[in-house]
Amino acid sequence: MDSAVLLDLLGNENRRRILRLLAHKPCYVTEISEYLGVSPKAVIDHLRKLEEAGLVESRTDDQRRKYFHISRDIRLEVNVSRYGFGAKSAYPASPSLDMSGRCPHVSIDVPSENGDSLASLASELARLEDLENELSLAQRYVHGRLTDVLDRLNERIGANSDSRFYAEVLAAVATGKRTPEGIAGEVDTAADDVERALHALAERGLAEQHGDEWHVVE
């Protein structure tokens, strides 16, 4: 799902409260109406929008009462800083995903076999909740460090509208991308734009060209 659509959808407090309630148990319209303190008609409108977005679906019991529940798991991340704004949504990865190959900077202890006993499942839940808390703390730390490093790079580059782009170009060079084409693939922009940035950095004494390759000035 597009993150902008999801942000607009969740911008409404009552829709957030509906999802919070449904995360605990399936509910029918009257239950949700009483919980929110709004009319059933308003609840039906909110549920319709959540259903259209694929976040909620319904089932009918033997008494023909329609119950609503969350239909799938999704994660929304929003990043706001002096250097950019970004939002992204993602679905849970497959449990069989090779984390060692995908996350070289993070050490995650994945058991070779997952038991089906009650004790093993409960133990796995506790371990994953601890891991989730640790990753949340690590994410906050990285966000703070990222802003600090960009501040220090800006002092060297000189504050202007292209400073973040210049910093990303320098980062690509520092990690082994030496040609405009290679750097362009790393920063996802045109090679001509990268070449102009490299020459601007060279004028500032921050990068230098050796033949066909570029290097960060130490």
Instruction: Please give the domain boundaries of the chain with CATH numbers for all domains.
Output: 3-70 (1.10.10.10), 117-218 (1.10.10.10)
Distance CA 31, CA 21 (A): 10
Which of 1-5, 56-60, 131-135 reaches the highest mean pLDDT? 56-60
- In sequence order, which residues have a C-beta less than 8 Å from that of residue 166 and are 6 or more positions away? 157, 197, 200, 201
Tell me which H or E stretch contains 60: strand 56-60
Residues 88-147: pLDDT tens digits? 998 888 877 777 677 778 777 666 555 688 988 898 899 999 999 999 999 999 999 999
Can you give the pTM of this predicted structure?
A: 0.75
- Quick check: 10 and 76 in contact, CB under 8 A? yes
Residues 130-181: pLDDT tens digits? 999 999 999 999 999 999 999 999 888 886 768 889 999 999 999 999 999 9
pLDDT at 70 over 90: yes
Distance CA 139, CA 204 (A): 33
